[in-house]
Amino acid sequence: MQKQLIKVHPSDNVAVALINLSKGENAFLEEQEILLVSDVKAKHKIALTDLEPSDKIIMYGVLVGKANTKIQKGEVLTTGNVTHQSEKVFGKTDSIGWNPPNIDKWKDRTFMGYHREDGQVGTANVWLFFPLVFCENRNIEILKEVFEKELLTQKTNSHRMLLRSLVNDGESSVATETHEVTTNVFDNIEVKFITHAGGCGGIRQDSETLARLLAGYVKNPNVAGATVLSLGCQNLQIDIFNQALEAISPDNKKPILMYEQQKMGTVDEMLSAIIKKSFEGIKEANKIERKPAPLSKLRLGLECGGSDGFSGISANPTLGYTSDLLVALGGTAILSEFPELCGVEQELVNRCVTKEKADKFLGLMKDFEASVVNAGSGFDMNPSPGNIKDGLITDAMKSAGAAKKGGISPIVDVLDYGEYVTESGLNLLCTPGNDVESTTAMVGSGANVVLFTTGLGTPTGNPIAPIIKVSSNSELAEKMNDIIDIDTGGIIKGEKTIEEMAEQTLEEIIQIASGTKQAKAKLLNQDDFIPWKRGVSL
Q: How does residue 417 score in pLDDT terms, banded at 50, 70 and 90?
A: very high
Both 272 and 307 in one domain: the answer is no
Asked if residue 349 is part of any domain, the answer here is: yes
Both 131 and 265 in one domain: the answer is yes
CB 235 within 8 A of CB 199: yes
Closest of 124, 127, 158, 156 to residue 143, by C-alpha: 127
Both 122 and 223 in one domain: the answer is yes
Both 165 and 255 in one domain: the answer is yes
Both 141 and 279 in one domain: the answer is yes
CB-based contacts of 146-151 (< 8 A; 24+ apart in sequence): 146/271, 146/275, 147/191, 147/193, 147/275, 147/278, 148/191, 150/183, 150/185, 151/183, 151/184, 151/185, 151/186, 151/191, 151/282
Residues near 81 by beta carbon (within 8 Å), at least 6 away in sequence? 67, 68, 69, 71, 75
Last residue within a domain, chosen from 249, 266, 291: 291
Which domain covers residue 35, as residue numbers? 5-83
Mean pLDDT of 472-494: 96
Asked if residue 252 is part of any domain, the answer here is: yes
Mean pLDDT score across all residues of the chain: 92
CATH number, domain of 191, equals 3.40.50
Which residue type is seen at 451?
Answer: L
Both 283 and 252 in one domain: the answer is yes
**Measured between alpha carbons, how far is 345 from 352 in angstroms, rounded to an integer?**
11
In this predicted structure, what is the pLDDT of residue 176? 46
Tell me: the pLDDT tens digits for 132-162?
999 999 999 999 999 998 887 655 677 777 7
Q: How does residue 59 score in pLDDT terms, banded at 50, 70 and 90?
A: very high
Asked if residue 358 is part of any domain, the answer here is: yes
Tell me: the pLDDT tens digits for 210-267?
999 999 999 999 999 999 999 999 999 999 999 999 999 999 999 999 999 999 999 9
Tell me: the pLDDT tens digits for 253-307?
999 999 999 999 999 999 999 999 999 999 999 999 999 999 999 999 999 999 9
Eight-state DSSP code of residue 180: P
Total Cβ atoms within 10 A of residue 369: 17
Count how many domains the chain has: 3
**Measured between alpha carbons, how far is 134 from 130 in angstroms, rounded to an integer?**
10
Asked if residue 511 is part of any domain, the answer here is: yes
In this predicted structure, what is the pLDDT of residue 379? 75
Both 75 and 224 in one domain: the answer is no
Both 269 and 309 in one domain: the answer is no
Both 166 and 260 in one domain: the answer is yes
In this predicted structure, what is the pLDDT of residue 175? 45
pTM exceeds 0.75 for this model: yes
CATH number, domain of 32, equals 2.30.130.110
Both 246 and 331 in one domain: the answer is no
Q: How does residue 178 score in pLDDT terms, banded at 50, 70 and 90?
A: very low
pLDDT of residue 177 exceeding 70: no
Q: How does residue 168 score in pLDDT terms, banded at 50, 70 and 90?
A: confident
Both 514 and 365 in one domain: the answer is yes
Asked if residue 100 is part of any domain, the answer here is: no
Asked if residue 374 is part of any domain, the answer here is: yes
Asked if residue 12 is part of any domain, the answer here is: yes
Mean pLDDT of 29-34: 88
CB 438 within 8 A of CB 432: yes
Both 141 and 51 in one domain: the answer is no
